[in-house]
Amino acid sequence: MAVILIGALLTVAGVVYMAGAVLWRGRLSDPGPAALDRPNPYLATPGPTLEPRRRGLGFLGLAQNWPGLLMMAIGLILLLSVVIL
């Protein structure tokens, strides 16, 4: 029973960590003072905006999300080990 609880907690903690990592990066609607001084050739509209011409998937990168993915993988292994054994 304890293995199931630990596996479920690790899985949920991994999802919460990955969601929190996106939110902790800062407000998406505030470009910051340094972004106003430099030209933005890749933006769809002129001025201080964070709307790119094409959609990027930088928030799905492995470098930012590896701790959350590791927690989820360990939790899944623990949950599956109970089913198999």
pLDDT at position 61 is: 73
Per-residue pLDDT, averaged over 70-84, amounts to 94
Residue type, 64: Q
- The per-residue pLDDT for 79 is 94
If you search the block for the tokens 């509209």, which residue do you land on?
Answer: 45
How far apart are the C-alpha atoms of 24 and 66, rounded to whole Å? 16
The structural domains of the chain, with segments of one domain joined by +, span 2-84
Tens of pLDDT, residues 39-74: 555 555 566 666 555 555 666 677 778 999 999 999
| Residue 66 CA: distances (Å) to CA of 30, 48, 50 | 26, 31, 25
Do the Cβ atoms of 52 and 35 come closer than 8 Å? no
Instruction: Output the six-digit token pair for 63.
Output: 């470098």
